[in-house]
Structure 1
């Protein structure tokens, strides 16, 4: 992880929905910093600079907040985003100190192409680790290049940097490379599962058309037989 970006924070003194809307109209973000047994610290952050810092810092972005002239390292814990406008509405941080160990969930990035006729299933997209607050890995890279079907990659096989400790179960399945199933086999499995569950199979448009063609052909054959009698 790169050095935390420094951001000047304003102390927040007004609260409530109206005050929050005014903050957002000024292109700023209301936030709160928790931790270390202290009272929560409510602040206002510059919108664009903060969004860019979070984008570059990844899922566990660490910021150096300048609050009334004092620096506070703050680890991102919750980001509330407007579902329509896709802008940040509120941020929660946890206060940390340099050298402190923290527990975080680090994303898994799968790269490469597995062997032919395989399907790569990312069974777990994050893994829990303990790391120094200023040295949190942005992600763990897992290569599946050329791997054959029936290959499984477990948490204990991840390449962890120095100072990072795995907290998740060592046998946690991260990536599963399976044999790719054909469309015909998949349809057969679905029909079997539906039959076992007592679910009637709804015919597809192709099946309906095929049945109609067969009925027309049978009718035509029957008419031919009656004409010849």
Structure 2
């Protein structure tokens, strides 16, 4: 895993008003926790931080330059404006090179299973312990040609050297099942509607034969 470098400014003002002022300057309020130290309150460049987090994936690791000192920090909580899609706040955990950390790594399905099957991701992430600077970006599950009934467990994932699986080895990660028929989908829909108290409109009866103008 590569690290992204970001230059930070120490924050001396706090509260919602201060946070709004920081965002108006196209910056992002952030806090670094960990290692028994007091939280470090920072202001980060908005665009650069967003790109670094996007490039780093689910477990982005940043080298934050704080007054000339580099602090390795792992992104743990990212708040984004749901409408404008801009960063509002980021919480980091301070880490050191060689230190082991516990993270949830995304599962990514590749390939096409056999015809008339349905591929279901039962667990979108798997928890592992890894060195802070060598966190896997994702685990790939190749379902190419997999028949209905094929199951992929956490124990079958390929882990890089130095990475330890923490999720139970028998946890079902990806399940390949038979694709439901149109009749089964219709029956399930009718059952759901009945449970919700929804009545379907019956087709209008054809005009009686013999009607005249």
Common fold: TM-score over 0.5? yes
Pairwise TM-score range, normalised by the shorter structure: over 0.9
SS of alignment partner, residue 156 of structure 1: helix
Paired residue for 2:160? Answer: 161
Paired residue for 1:58? Answer: 57
Superposed CA offset, 1:66-111 (max 9, x none)? 1122111000000011111110000000000000000000001101
1:192 and 1:11, CA in 2 relative to 1: closer, same or farther beyond 3 A? closer
Ranges of 4+ aligned residues in structure 1 off by more than 4 Å: 192-195
Query: Within the alignment, does 1:24 sit opposite 2:23 as a pair?
Result: yes
Superposed CA offset, 1:125-172 (max 9, x none)? 111000000000111111111100011101000011111110001111
TM-score, with normalisation over the residues of structure 2?
0.93
RMSD: 1.7
Paired residue for 1:86? Answer: 85
Q: How many residues align?
A: 211
Distance 2:189 2:50 in 1: 45
Distance 1:85 1:193 in 2: 36
Query: Within the alignment, does 1:188 sit opposite 2:187 as a pair?
Result: yes
Q: How far does residue 189 in structure 1 lie from its aligned partner after superposition?
A: 3.9
SS of alignment partner, residue 89 of structure 1: strand
1:1-229 equivalences under 5 Å are: 1-2=1-2, 4-191=3-190, 202-203=199-200, 208-209=202-203, 212-213=205-206, 216=207, 219-220=208-209
Structure 2 gap segments, 5+ residues each: none
TM-score, with normalisation over the residues of structure 1?
0.87
Distance 2:125 2:205 in 1: 51
Select the structure of larger CA radius of gyration: 1
Superposed CA offset, 1:26-51 (max 9, x none)? 11111000001110000111111111
Paired residue for 1:227? Answer: none
Higher helix proportion? 1
The answer as to whether partners of 2:110 and 2:141 remain within 8 angstroms in 1 is yes
1:94 and 1:181, CA in 2 relative to 1: closer, same or farther beyond 3 A? same
Structure 1 gap segments, 5+ residues each: 225-229
Distance 1:153 1:33 in 2: 37
1:193 and 1:84, CA in 2 relative to 1: closer, same or farther beyond 3 A? closer
16-25 vs 126-135, which moves further: 16-25
